[in-house]
Amino acid sequence: MRARPRLLGLGLAVGLAVPPAAGSDLKDLHFGEALYHAHLGEFFDALQRLDVELAQYHGLDEPGLDTLHGHVHDAEFSVGDFELNYRMHHRAGRAIRAVLEGAVDETVRNEAAFRLARIHFQKGQLEDALHALARIEGEVPADIRDDVEFLRANIEIATGRPSEAVDVLARLQGDAGLAGFVAYNLGIALLQDGRPEEAIAQLDRAGQRTAVDRADLAIRDKSNMVLGSILFEANEFERARQSLDRVHLRGPFSNQALLRAGWAEASAERYDRALVPWNILAAREPTDAAVQEAMLAVPHAYARLDLHGRAALGYGRALELYSHQIERVDASIASIREGRFLDALVREETRQDKDWVIRLRRLPDAPETYYLMELMATHEFQTALQNYLDLEDLQARLIGWNAGLEAFEDLIRWRELNYEPLLPDVDARFRELDSRMRLRLEQRDHLGDRLEAMLTAPRPEHLATADELIAGERLTAIEERLGAAEDRASLALRQRVARLRGALTWSLETEYHERLTAAHQHLSELNVHVDALTRQYDAFVRARQAATHSYVGYDVRIERLRERVRDARKRVETLMARQGHMIETVAIHRLNARRNRLVSQQTQARYAVADSYDRAARAGSALEQR
């Protein structure tokens, strides 16, 4: 059944989003950088950066102090979105599941559950999606409230519970952002629920909505297409035509709409009116299947109007077109077999444009792209193509990394050549300086300790100046020379020595506090220099370590990386060959199918042209006879 994938696709169109962290709100530059790459469509780089950032965050002792802390849930959600965008469905959801299992606020947990459900839905794991939605309880953030319900409705439709979906969608009709999708999906849900009259009325409303952007226009066209088909099958040709006439003439559904509008008129035996859409269609891009069908439909209508001459001419033109198109399809198949299809796909300019699929057919010298739009119609084919491009990108990266590893080894070798002769001398000088520095630091510490001790046990003699110390020593020497002599002269000298010592002691005692303060000041001044010296010492130690770390200990790591790169390159090459072959094979299958159809149409046209000429001739002779 085709309705389901349509609904899935349309549901995804609304749901896929990345949390915002724009401008001044952003507190983590690395997360912002990951978002920048995501906005550029570089999901590999986005994932790589965010994975590293999250791993670092989760390894922190105090993650609350990290700049990512305020965005961590958005970052976890973004990882899931990036993985989906990079077509890594298996991994997508792991980070979000971690948020869901963690101790987080109710609103964050509910948002995580919604995002997980959406990922399961996109992966086609509908029961898991429902299970995730069932975990939502309590307060749901206002900006996703309707998205949650819309997703719930989509899952219910996809799991065959349309009546529940109808109830949910009916409540969502007021959401301006979802209105087009809700209107269309409600029509489909009513149809699946066995309420055709209500479904037709709903699709009619959806098909007459005012479109404000491309998405609105596409969903409106889609509604009209589906409605037209339902009415056509119900033999309500006039209403079917009215609905199909509303399809935008330049939209992606317009060819099918014109074809069906013509058939609606033809089924009501109004061939003259059927010619209007069919003639418009017949003048369009001749590789389109609807256009090719119109090439037969137009002369068929003329024949039914008894205009056999014009019918014969029309069949003649159809024959010519089919022959030409068969040649083009053959050329396309040959071109694909020569590998030009894949070459065209990997051209850089095709990938710079978001409409690259459409642009491809305009490329010169690429006949294989004539039928590309149809070849690329299925989701699987799109995925295969994107995977091929991703593999090509991975291959380019791996080749670059391999060269990068060689450059790293060169760098390491040059560093080793530079540092090895220098470092022994540097180390020897450092050791000498280090021992001198240690000695001075010990002296400083000793002085500090003594001063500290003097705060509680004053020792004035410790604060004597050098002159005072010399004077004191000289006085002691004089005293020793005087010995125990009792003569007059000695007694007089001893008294003088005692007076001088008293004067010395007086100075030391009375100036003690000033001297102690000065000593502390000097020590503080010394500390400034010691701190500068310590910083310089630390900087040297770091620089010295960095010198060693810049070339020692990388061999094993680089060799291991090189092995991983080599292994990955082999696997990528093998996969690329398989993927490329698969794409070419599928493309050729599809082109062969188109060729068979063209051959069948050519045969029909060949018989019909002969028949029309006969009838025209008979009509002509009948006229002459009359």
Restricting to residues 9-28, name those near other proteins by CB under 8 A: 9-10, 12-26
Minimal distance, residue 268 CB to other proteins, in Å: 25
Q: Does residue 98 belong to the site contacting other proteins (CB under 8 A)?
A: no
Closest by CA position to 245, among listed 273, 272, 270: 273
- The answer to whether 215 and 180 have CB atoms below 8 angstroms apart is yes
Nearer to other proteins by Cβ, of 95 and 572: the residue is: 572
Q: Does residue 541 belong to the site contacting other proteins (CB under 8 A)?
A: no
Q: Does residue 61 belong to the site contacting other proteins (CB under 8 A)?
A: no
Provide the 3-class DSSP secondary structure of residue 573: helix
Nearer to other proteins by Cβ, of 601 and 612: the residue is: 601
How far apart are alpha carbons 407 and 414 in whole angstroms? Answer: 11
Q: Which of residues 342-401 bind other proteins (CB under 8 A)?
A: 354-355, 357, 373-374, 376-384, 387, 390-391, 394, 397-398, 401
* Sequential DSSP letters for 204-217: HHHTTSPP-SHHHH
Minimal distance, residue 41 CB to other proteins, in Å: 7
Minimal distance, residue 568 CB to other proteins, in Å: 6
Q: Does residue 285 belong to the site contacting other proteins (CB under 8 A)?
A: no
* Sequential DSSP letters for 388-444: HHHHHHHHHHHHHHHHHHHHHHHHHHHHHHHHHHHHHHHHHHHHHHHHHHHHHHHHH
Closest by CA position to 110, among listed 154, 77, 82, 69: 77
Q: Does residue 244 belong to the site contacting other proteins (CB under 8 A)?
A: no
Nearer to other proteins by Cβ, of 133 and 398: the residue is: 398
Q: Does residue 6 belong to the site contacting other proteins (CB under 8 A)?
A: yes
Which position among 63, 194, 339, 404 is part of the footprint of other proteins (CB under 8 A)? Answer: 404
Minimal distance, residue 378 CB to other proteins, in Å: 6
What x/- string results for residues 146 through 185 when contact with other proteins is judged by CB under 8 A?
Answer: xx-----------------------------x--------
Nearer to other proteins by Cβ, of 589 and 618: the residue is: 589
DSSP state of 199: H
How far apart are alpha carbons 276 and 272 in whole angstroms? Answer: 7
Distance of CA 216 to the CA centre of its chain: 25
- The answer to whether 378 and 386 have CB atoms below 8 angstroms apart is no
Minimal distance, residue 348 CB to other proteins, in Å: 14
Q: Does residue 4 belong to the site contacting other proteins (CB under 8 A)?
A: no
Stretch that binds other proteins, among 211-219, 273-281, 512-520, 604-612 (CB under 8 A): 211-219
Provide the 3-class DSSP secondary structure of residue 459: coil
Nearer to other proteins by Cβ, of 16 and 469: the residue is: 16
How far apart are alpha carbons 203 and 228 in whole angstroms? Answer: 10
Longest dimension (CA), the chain: 183
Residues whose CB is less than 8 angstroms from the CB of residue 393 and which lie 6 or more positions away in sequence, other chains included = 44
Q: Does residue 38 belong to the site contacting other proteins (CB under 8 A)?
A: yes
Minimal distance, residue 451 CB to other proteins, in Å: 32
Q: Does residue 216 belong to the site contacting other proteins (CB under 8 A)?
A: no
* Sequential DSSP letters for 214-225: HHHHHHHHHHHH
Residues whose CB is less than 8 angstroms from the CB of residue 408 and which lie 6 or more positions away in sequence, other chains included = 554, 558
Q: Which of residues 547-586 bind other proteins (CB under 8 A)?
A: 549-550, 554, 557-558, 561, 564-565, 568, 571-572, 575, 578-579, 582, 585-586
Distance of CA 599 to the CA centre of its chain: 45
* Residue in this structure with the two tokens 């009838």, named with its chain if needed: 615
Minimal distance, residue 278 CB to other proteins, in Å: 18
How far apart are alpha carbons 93 and 82 in whole angstroms? Answer: 10
Q: Does residue 2 belong to the site contacting other proteins (CB under 8 A)?
A: yes
